[in-house]
Amino acid sequence: MRRILAFFFVFVSAASSNTAEEEIHSNREFKDWSVFIDSGDCWLATYPKDNHRNDIEDITIYIAFHQRSMNSEISVLFEGDHVAVSDVDVVFGEKAYSLGVYEDTAFTAASENVEILKKMLSYEATTLSFSTLGKDYKEFSVQYEGLRDAYNFTSKNCDFFRNIDVDGDTEKERV
């Protein structure tokens, strides 16, 4: 599991910490969501919004699909002023999911990824809360305009293989 997290951390960091010369362009944009496809890995990305619907551009929420797996991995990357984060929660209505933090990235528990993705695809009201040194943030929201289109584009263009965790089949086969 640590190896997967380390791989994901390197992958996300490479995708998000670019100079102007190294900018990675999305394959498609769907309103609030962007889709990136690269070497068997696909991910959707968005910025959370403040209470005025302004993008918080030093925080990025990712839904990643690695090695053409249909299993999602959800994470939040913190940059800029939002460093030394702790107590990261994604809240859907009354239910909060606590995220583990490794350096500048927070990860959902693998066992909760499918449940969280289903809630996101059903457009449940979502907020992101966390703490930094001396300050608590609870007002950031996740917007879903374009998420379903981005997800459908990803599923059609990422050349997914079935995963034993999803369908019980031990052979990898195209979906």
Tens-binned pLDDT, residue by residue, of the chain (175 aa):
444 433 344 344 444 444 333 456 778 899 999 999 988 789 999 999 998 999 999 999 999 998 877 888 999 999 877 678 899 999 998 899 999 999 999 999 999 998 999 999 988 889 999 988 878 888 799 999 999 999 989 988 887 765 555 445 555 544 4
Asked if 40 and 157 touch (Cβ cutoff 8 Å), the reply is no
Tokens at 38, concatenated = 């690269």
Determine the pLDDT at residue 175. Answer: 44
Tokens at 94, concatenated = 């009354």
Q: Rounded to an integer, what distance in angstroms lies between the CA atom of residue 169 and that of residue 159?
A: 17
- Domains of the chain, by residue range, sit at 2-167
* Edge-to-edge order in the sheet of strand 126-132: 28-30, 33-38, 41-46, 59-65, 73-78, 105-107, 95-102, 86-92, 126-132, 135-142
Single out the residue of 92, 127, 89 nearest to residue 109, CA to CA.
89
Q: Rounded to an integer, what distance in angstroms lies between the CA atom of residue 122 and that of residue 31?
A: 17
Tokens at 45, concatenated = 């990305």
**What pTM was computed for the model?**
0.77
